[in-house]
Amino acid sequence: MSNSLRDQLMKTGLVDEKQARQADKEKRAQRKKSKGGRKGQSPDPDAAARQTQVQQARAEKAERDRALNQQREQQKKQKSAAAQIEDLLREHALSTRDGSVPFHFTRDGKVRKLEVTAEQQKRLSRGELAIVERKGRFHVVPSDVVPRLHERDATMFVAMVTAEDLSSEDDDLYREFPIPDDLDW
């Protein structure tokens, strides 16, 4: 009873040895295919979907990384600009400690007062100096420094007398009324 079908067919003469080996070979190949062997693996229908998901996840991660790097670069630029502004102010700001003469200017619709020296007041009124606000403090700087500060931070507040402010239209109207020398503002 232990005779296999192959042995029985060979005994009866229906199949010879060569045909039996060929049948065994085909049977093994078929078993390998159905088992999913490494070389003759049948395509997995979910593999393509998983591969697509993996690629999509990689693309999303790359996009997140790119956005994060861009944000970090922006923060680096802002820190660098802030440090450069601080350096410019430290280097060019004039001391107002000995100031006893008030200089008035407007900020957000309010009149502000800064105590400066007499020389600084004259230079401020001629437009040679400017007032810059940084971190809640007002600094007096030369007017040629203002463009460099604006390169680093365009939103920075600057109070400066310009050529338009020094126009002679008002002077023509009040030419007849001289200002007395002893008048203090």
- Identify whether 108 is part of a domain: yes
Amino acid 43: pLDDT: 59
The owner of tokens 């990384």 is 65
Amino acid 1: pLDDT: 39
Amino acid 171: pLDDT: 65
Amino acid 57: pLDDT: 93
- Identify whether 131 is part of a domain: yes
Amino acid 4: pLDDT: 79
Residues of the chain with pLDDT under 70: 1-3, 36-44, 163-172, 185
- Identify whether 116 is part of a domain: yes
- Identify whether 7 is part of a domain: no
**Beta-carbon count within 10 A of 20 CB:** 15
Q: Which domain holds residue 164?
A: 93-173
Amino acid 178: pLDDT: 77
Give rounded-to-5 percent helix, strand, coil for the chain: 50, 15, 30
Asked if 140 and 120 count as a contact pair (C-beta separation under 8 A), the reply is yes
Amino acid 83: pLDDT: 92
Amino acid 77: pLDDT: 93
Which residues have CB under 8 Å from 71's CB, separation 6+? none
How many domains are contained in the chain?
A: 1
